[in-house]
Amino acid sequence: GESVGLHLPTLSVQEGDNSIINCAYSNSASDYFIWYKQESGKGPQFIIDIRSNMDKRQGQRVTVLLNKTVKHLSLQIAATQPGDSAVYFCAENWNNFNKFYFGSGTKLNVKP
Amino acid sequence: GAVVSQHPSRVICKSGTSVKIECRSLDFQATTMFWYRQFPKQSLMLMATSNEGSKATYEQGVEKDKFLINHASLTLSTLTVTSAHPEDSSFYICSASRSSSYEQYFGPGTRLTVT
C-alpha cells in the first residue's frame, strides 16, 4: 500500500499545553482520513475523521486540519492531559471502500 | 456498541507450528474484517481484507499460503499463521466494519511470540 507519514517522532508536552501532531500523506487521491490513538498493548481507538471536501473539523478537545495542497494533516489536542499519552496515527483511504493505510505514528508524552 | 474481541490475547508457539487467532464482532454484523500486523514501535500494516463468505484479498507482499484467513460468518474471522517462524512474532490486530460504513472497530490485538 501507499506509505503515509514517513517519520515516527516523539512529542513531549507539559500537561495543560496544546499539542499538535503532524502527518504527511503521499497519495493525492486520498479523500478520507482518520486519526487514531493507540495505547500500549491495545488496538487503535478512533479519535476524529475528516473528508477531503473539508479543511477543518472539530471534536471535543481535538481539531483536525487538512491541507490538500501539501498533503498534510494535523491533529490538535487542547489542554493535553496525562491520559492523552499514546501513539497517534493518521490513516488514509482513497476510492477503496473502507480500506485504510496507516502512517508511521507519533508518540505523545504528556509530562505532569 | 461496536465491540470487537480477539482471542487469544497472547500466544507463544514453537517454530514450525501453526497458530490460529480469532476476531469476533460481539454486537454487530461485520461484513468486512481487516487484519493488520504491527511490529514494535512501528505502524499498523494492512495484511488482508476479508468479506464474509468470500476469499480474502491480500496486500502486496503478504503470503496468502502462510497467513490463512477465513471469514465464515458475519461475526467471526480467523487468521492462521502456518509454519510460524520467529520473524512472524508480532502484534496482530483485527478490525471490523458494517456494510456501507467506512468506520472500523478495532480489536485489542494478539501478541504472537514464536520461539
**What span, in angstroms and rounded, lies between the C-alpha atoms of B82 and B103?**
30
Are A42 and B109 in contact, with CB atoms under 8 Å apart? yes
Q: What pLDDT sits at residue A6?
A: 42
Question: pLDDT tens across B50-104, in order?
Answer: 988 888 999 999 999 999 999 889 999 999 999 999 999 999 999 999 876 778 8
Are A62 and A10 in contact, with CB atoms under 8 Å apart? no
Q: Is B62 on the interface with A (CB under 8 A)?
A: no
Q: What pLDDT sits at residue A73?
A: 96
Chain A residues touching B91 at Cβ < 8 A = 41
Mean pLDDT, chain B, whole residue set: 93
Which three cell numbers, joined as nine digits, stand for B55? 476469499
Nearest CA in chain A to B58: A1
Which three cell numbers, joined as nine digits, stand for A11? 512529542
Are A73 and A86 in contact, with CB atoms under 8 Å apart? no
Are B41 and B26 in contact, with CB atoms under 8 Å apart? no
The distance of B106 to chain A (nearest Cα, Å) reads 6
Nearest CA in chain B to A95: B102
Confidence check: pLDDT of A95 > 80: no
- What torsion, rounded to 10 degrees, do the Cα atoms B113, A87, B105, A47 define? 170
**What span, in angstroms and rounded, lies between the C-alpha atoms of B19 and B83?**
8
Chain A residues touching B97 at Cβ < 8 A = 98
Element (H, E) at B15: none
**What span, in angstroms and rounded, lies between the C-alpha atoms of A67 and A43?**
28
For strand A10-14 and strand A106-111, is the pairing parallel, antiparallel, or unpaired? parallel
Q: Which of B43, B91, B103 sits opposite A103 (nearest CB)?
A: B43
Element (H, E) at B74: none
**What span, in angstroms and rounded, lies between the C-alpha atoms of A64 and A48?**
7
Confidence check: pLDDT of A17 > 70: yes
Q: What pLDDT sits at residue A97?
A: 64
- The sign of the CA dihedral B98, B63, A94, A43 is positive
Stronger pLDDT, A20 or B55, i.e. the higher one: A20
Chain A residues touching B60 at Cβ < 8 A = 1
In this predicted structure, which of A28-32, A58-62, A105-109, B111-115 has the lowest mean pLDDT?
A28-32
In this predicted structure, which of A4-8, A52-56, B41-45 has the lowest mean pLDDT?
A4-8
Q: Which of B41, B44, B102 sits opposite A8 (nearest CB)?
A: B41
